[in-house]
Amino acid sequence: MAILVTGASGMIGSQVLSFLDPKAVEIRALTRSPETANFPAGMTAVKGDLADIDGFRGALEGVSTLFLLGPNVADESTQVLLALNAARDAGVKGVVYLSVYKADEYADLPHFASKAAVERMIETYDLPVTVLRPAYFMQNDVRLRDALLSYGVYGMPIGGKGISMVDIRDIGEAAAKELMRREATDRPLPREAYDLVGPDALTGDDLAALWSEILGRPIAYGGSDLEAWERNVKAVAPAWYVYDLKLMMRRYQQQGALASAAEVGRMEALLGHPPRTYRDFAEATAASWN
């Protein structure tokens, strides 16, 4: 039997693949373009897309364990709910689903609410799924390179309440561990859930100070003006998606997204090591820029 990884070409899917061993189990990577895919040696590129439910159902043939990641599209919940039903109908014995931290609390955010709907299905039918709920990705801040280096500004308007960002390498490792745990059994395991969070409570000012130290130059926090931020980001992303993200940033500014010590400790137990810090990420990123 095989593990199928959806979103295999993206930021998270590629990390999941990097922590899986194709010598231990057959690994299949779902992609729209298998002919041009560049996956790790020993892994099989499989043509498919969650938007094409018939094609996805075909890709599930011979699959025993599934990594399920929804795309950043307006009909995300429809695509993922159909995919989860297809996996259940195909007899897939275990699923690892990527949700989001505090999905149930941020009910007015479309991409949070869509994941909460999937979690409700998992809970209602007691499906053999591990739900992973990552916080804001540290690696999102790689996009701030020009603002940091050219203008001396940390430009993500996260506010002053603090959020517990997570490194995508920890997400990939956690997902791979749960995929292998479910794949190694001869029967479905009970559902499980983990909050994937970093150990630091970081504000906009904290991050500006940290980048100042690492880059050796003054870095200022760009402030919390969400209207200006929305106008700028709409130049490179669809308006509906940017508005969704703006609503998320508003919640971060109003409430924060701070992990508890228990959540960090539980993630450490899953990984077998402490979650990576933002400093770890920032130092490595700055070194790559140099």
DSSP 8-state assignment for residue 201: -
Give the SS3 label for residue 45.
Answer: strand
- Locus of tokens 């970093």: 198
What is the pairing mode between strands 153-154 and 220-221? parallel
pLDDT at 4: 98
Tell me the DSSP string of 166-200. B-HHHHHHHHHHHHHHHHTSSSPPPPEEEEE--S-
DSSP 8-state assignment for residue 163: B
| CATH classification number, 2-135+166-196+260-271, choose in 3.40.50.300, 3.30.750.80, 3.40.50.720, 3.40.50.620 | 3.40.50.720
Backbone angles phi, psi at 112, to 5 degrees: -80, -45
C-alpha 9/C-alpha 7 separation (Å) is 6
Is the Cβ–Cβ distance between 97 and 122 less than 8 Å?
A: yes
C-alpha 55/C-alpha 48 separation (Å) is 6
Q: Domain residue spans in the chain?
A: 2-135+166-196+260-271
C-alpha 97/C-alpha 115 separation (Å) is 9
201: left (phi over 0), alpha (psi -120 to 50) or beta: beta
pLDDT at 290: 83
C-alpha 111/C-alpha 128 separation (Å) is 23
pLDDT at 215: 97
Is the Cβ–Cβ distance between 248 and 109 less than 8 Å?
A: yes
Q: What is the largest CA-CA distance in the chain?
A: 56
Q: Is the Cα dihedral 93, 265, 268, 254 positive or negative?
A: positive
C-alpha 200/C-alpha 272 separation (Å) is 18
pLDDT at 196: 98
Averages of pLDDT over runs of 10 residues in the chain (290 residues) are 95 97 96 91 95 96 98 94 98 98 93 96 98 98 96 97 98 98 96 97 97 98 96 94 96 96 98 98 96
C-alpha 220/C-alpha 208 separation (Å) is 5
C-alpha 155/C-alpha 204 separation (Å) is 8
Looking at residue 124, its amino acid is: T
pTM, two decimal places: 0.97
Strand partners of residue 2: 26, 63
Give the SS3 label for residue 92.
Answer: coil
